[in-house]
Amino acid sequence: MKPFLLVAADFIKTGGMDRANYALADYLVRQGAEVHLVSHRVEPELQQSAIWHPVPKVANSNFLGEFLLDRVGQQWARRISQRGGQVLVNGGNCGWADVNWVHYVHAAYQPESKVNRLQQAKTAITHSYFRRTEQRNLRQARIVIANSERTRSDLVKHSLAAQSKVRSIYYGIDPEVFYPATPEEVRSLRQQLNLPLNRPIAVFIGALSDRRKGFDVLFEAWKQLCQDPAWNVQLLVIGQGAEVPIWKQRLIEAGLVDRIQFLGFRSDVPDLLRASDCLIAPTRYEAYGLGVHE
């Protein structure tokens, strides 16, 4: 069987695109393929079965780490291609003209940060860079895989790939991990997670580094809803980012400390989803809403 090289920031089980990258690598390994991974992080069990070429994440920054990921990815892509293997990259992360799996289209959304001028400048610079590398890599790709029809449409609309080169393949989920819970399981999970037993619980999942996930809209709506004495729903916010301190301060100012709970990064998202009553996703742009699917 021919060797495969997959280039992605992470092959881990948390995070939408990271989980998808992990699932592909795991599948290829289980088929008996020789699988090479160029990335910052890899799940321990995958490290045992695949061949990992680790790339340092400079200053723990995805943006700075992208430069090394591109360079190391191209080095290994040349070696694997010379052996007749196949190379798969993600969007603009590595300049190699083979298969490109697109999880997010930077040209489709302009991120907006409200933290401070430094953060706003950083957001603008990184977005501009990601758009350039995205355009360069996608236009030279042999095949482009889109994670949804929305993504496929955006790729064609922004002239990033010819329609004839794009194939839409949706994410799947693990039915043994994501499934409707029984009332007994909900009660047990809430006790384990120290959540209210007799109040409805809503969940928001998303990075809070900018306004893309729409938490600002949800926060304003929640303030209005909480003015009604009959509204007793608890909101759990799962995610981290530069804007978290801003929202925590506004939480105090609005007197909603007992109505909205910031949980930060969590590895037990499946349990939290089963323990809750609904998910709220007011996102401004989503290539594919895996959280809604889950």
**CA nearest to 66, candidates 128, 114, 129, 110:** 129
| pLDDT per position as a tens digit, 246-292 | 999 999 999 999 999 999 999 999 999 999 999 999 999 999 999 99
pLDDT at 126 (0 to 100): 93
Joined tokens for residue 97: 């003209």
Checking if the pLDDT of 87 tops 90, the result is: yes
Checking if the pLDDT of 63 tops 90, the result is: no
Residues 150 and 288: beta-carbon distance below 8 Å: yes
Residues 173 and 23: beta-carbon distance below 8 Å: no
Task: Give yes or no on whether 4-168 and 183-293 have one common fold.
Answer: yes
Q: Alpha-carbon Rg of the chain, whole angstroms?
A: 21
pLDDT at 182 (0 to 100): 96
- Compute the distance between CA of residue 153 and CA of residue 135 in angstroms, rounded to an integer: 15
- Compute the distance between CA of residue 153 and CA of residue 147 in angstroms, rounded to an integer: 11
- Compute the distance between CA of residue 74 and CA of residue 92 in angstroms, rounded to an integer: 12
Most distant pair of Cα atoms in the chain: their distance: 68
**CA nearest to 34, candidates 83, 95, 91, 75:** 83
Which CATH superfamily is 183-293 part of? Glycogen Phosphorylase B; (3.40.50.2000)
Residues 3 and 80: beta-carbon distance below 8 Å: yes
Residues 210 and 246: beta-carbon distance below 8 Å: no
**Beta strand pairing call for 10-11 and 201-205:** unpaired
Q: Check if CATH label 3.40.50.2000 holds for domain 4-168.
A: yes
Q: Which residues contact 163 (CB under 8 A, 6 or more apart)?
A: 152, 156
Residues 11 and 39: beta-carbon distance below 8 Å: yes
Instruction: Give the chain's count of helices (H) and strands (E).
Output: 10, 13
Helices (H), the chain: 16-30, 44-49, 62-82, 117-140, 149-157, 183-193, 215-225, 244-253, 269-275, 290-293
Cross-strand partners of 144: 100, 166
Q: Map out the domains of the chain as residue ranges.
A: 4-168, 183-293
| pLDDT per position as a tens digit, 15-32 | 789 999 999 999 999 999
Confidence category of residue 136, pLDDT binned at 50, 70, 90: very high
- Compute the distance between CA of residue 268 and CA of residue 262 in angstroms, rounded to an integer: 14
- Compute the distance between CA of residue 145 and CA of residue 165 in angstroms, rounded to an integer: 8
| pLDDT per position as a tens digit, 196-249 | 999 999 999 999 999 999 999 999 999 999 999 999 999 999 999 999 999 999
